[in-house]
């Protein structure tokens, strides 16, 4: 997911996306443990996307308080 796409999301949409990605990450880790994971790079992509969204949320929070 691109940063500009994330910046155009509302706060509620970002929270919803993060919760969905966390659930996906849980499932991917479970698949990795059971040996069923086809694309291990997907774990990295999901983790980075979560970090991007959380960073943008933090930027917005700091901008509000400043």
Cα atoms in the 13 Å half-sphere on the side-chain side of 30: 6
CATH topology (fold) of 3-65: Helix Hairpins (1.10.287)
Question: Where do the domains of the chain lie?
Answer: 3-65
Which of the four pLDDT bands, split at 50, 70 and 90, describes residue 58?
A: very high
Q: Distance (Å, rounded) from C-alpha 13 to C-alpha 19?
A: 10
Could you tell me the pTM of the whole model? 0.92
How does pLDDT run across 6-57, given as a tens digit for each residue? Answer: 999 999 999 999 999 999 999 999 999 999 999 999 999 999 999 999 999 9
DSSP string over the chain: --HHHHHTS-HHHHHHHHHHHHHHHHHHHHHHHHT--S-THHHHHHHHHHHHHHHHHHHHHHHHH-
């Amino acid at each position: 997911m691109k940063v500009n796409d994330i910046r155009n999301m509302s706060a509620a949409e970002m929270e919803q996306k993060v919760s969905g990605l966390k659930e996906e990450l849980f499932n991917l880790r479970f698949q990795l443990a059971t040996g069923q994971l086809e694309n291990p790079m997907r774990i990295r992509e999901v983790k980075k996307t979560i970090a991007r969204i959380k960073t943008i949320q933090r930027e917005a929070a700091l901008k509000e308080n400043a």
